[in-house]
Chain A
């Protein structure tokens, strides 16, 4: 089955700790994205990558970091500098074709204790 997987589904973190969220896709898509979703605020773009070893900041990149060493993988690290990290995090990918759009993974719920 082709798709996007995110792990873990639920993640708990103590204040001051960094955590890394996993995103893997086997769709052979060039582009990958990370979003944050908070109640009543829709999806906000954190980082995106159009190609391996390259990525750009989105609208709310402060306190987050990413890497893109492989086409299939785009992990997101939530650092201790992120002031309000409790949220639902969504990963997406995109083929780059004109008639196509983004497809999403199942999400990771991060809670800071």
Chain B
């Protein structure tokens, strides 16, 4: 079983829809949670970064972390065709020998059509 599970999709939605992307994980030591967006043939760019449980909002994007359920989500409101990309969840534990090492999900391919 992988440490981080992410549904690879692909996910196709109409413009304006609310998109929900999710990851589950098994390692209870994870405390830092990230969502990266990756356009085709480009490097991933950091979209959202959260620590421990709770919500974080940035414009149309909301990240949720539920450590008790080992479940994280990314919501995209009023989705746009420019949101079409692969979304990668990533997480890490704190300090020690981990030193910023990230464990990634497989990535979910999202297409928003006009």
Contacts and interface: CB of A to CB of B under 8 A. Distances in A.
Interface of A: 4, 6, 31, 33, 40-43, 45, 48, 50, 88, 90, 94, 96, 98-107, 109
B88 A42 contact: yes
A106 B51 CA distance: 26
B104 interface: yes
A98 B102 contact: no
Given A40-B8, A42-B107, A43-B88, A104 B43 contact: yes
B60 interface: no
Interface stretch (B14-22, B71-79, B93-101): B93-101
A41 B4 CA distance: 12
Interface string B41-55: 111111001010000
Q: Which 7 A-B pairs have the closest CB atoms?
A: A104-B43, A94-B100, A42-B106, A42-B104, A43-B104, A106-B43, A104-B44
Contacts of A43: 44, 88, 102, 104
Contacts of A50: 99
Interface in B20-65: 32, 34, 36, 41-46, 49, 51
